[in-house]
Structure 1
Amino acid sequence: MPKAKVTFEDIGVSVTVPAGTRLIEVSEKVGAGITYGCREGECCTCLTKIVSGGENLAPPSILEDQVLKDNMAPRGHRLACQAQIIGGELVVKPA
């Protein structure tokens, strides 16, 4: 199974995870500062800045895209509960 490297800039921790993992799952395991309320992609509390490696995430779902637009999320931000890592390297930090 392909692997990916995720770095949480806020705590200075990098981990290797299987492709297909969602950012929120990794954040919970390493104790990063990404907060969340619902895990369903509707509330926008887990908004996360993608510092680099955004191409290593699956494209936003229709739901995530709409929630980002409705909440006027800045470019380069994703919902950690919805953002699925597909490989490569990624650097993120809480928004």
Structure 2
Amino acid sequence: MARAKLTFQDINLTVNAPVGSRVVELSDKVGSGIAYGCREGDCGTCLMTVVEGMENLSEPSSVEKKLLKENVAGKNDRVACQAQILGDVTVKPA
């Protein structure tokens, strides 16, 4: 299985993640400050800022685009329960 490096800048930790994993799955396991409330893309509490590697995340789904717009997210923000890891990426809580 292909793997990628996911760095949580807020806790200065890098983990090897299976490609296709959602950021929130790993954030929860390692204790990053990326909060979440649902894991389904309904609430928007798991907004995160992508510090490096935006191109290494899946394209935003229509659900994620809606959440980003509703939450007035910045251009480097994504929703952790929706974003899948495709390659090396560094994130932090939004």
TM category (shorter chain) comes to over 0.9
**Equivalent-residue separation in structure 1 for 2:38 and 2:7 (angstroms):** 23
Q: Number of residues paired by the alignment? A: 94
TM-score for both structures, normalised by structure 2:
0.96
Deviation >4 Å, runs of 4+: none
Which residue type is aligned with residue 66 of structure 2? Q
What is the 5 A alignment of 1:1-95? 1-87=1-87, 89-95=88-94
Displacement of 1:71 after TM fit?
1.5
- The SS at the match of 1:66 is helix
- Unmatched 5+ stretches in structure 2: none
Q: Percent identity, please.
A: 55
TM-score norm. by structure 1 comes to 0.95
> For 1:54 and 1:11, how far apart are their aligned partners in 2?
19
- Superposed CA deviations along residues 9-35 of structure 1, whole A, max 9, x for unmatched, are 000000001101000001011111110
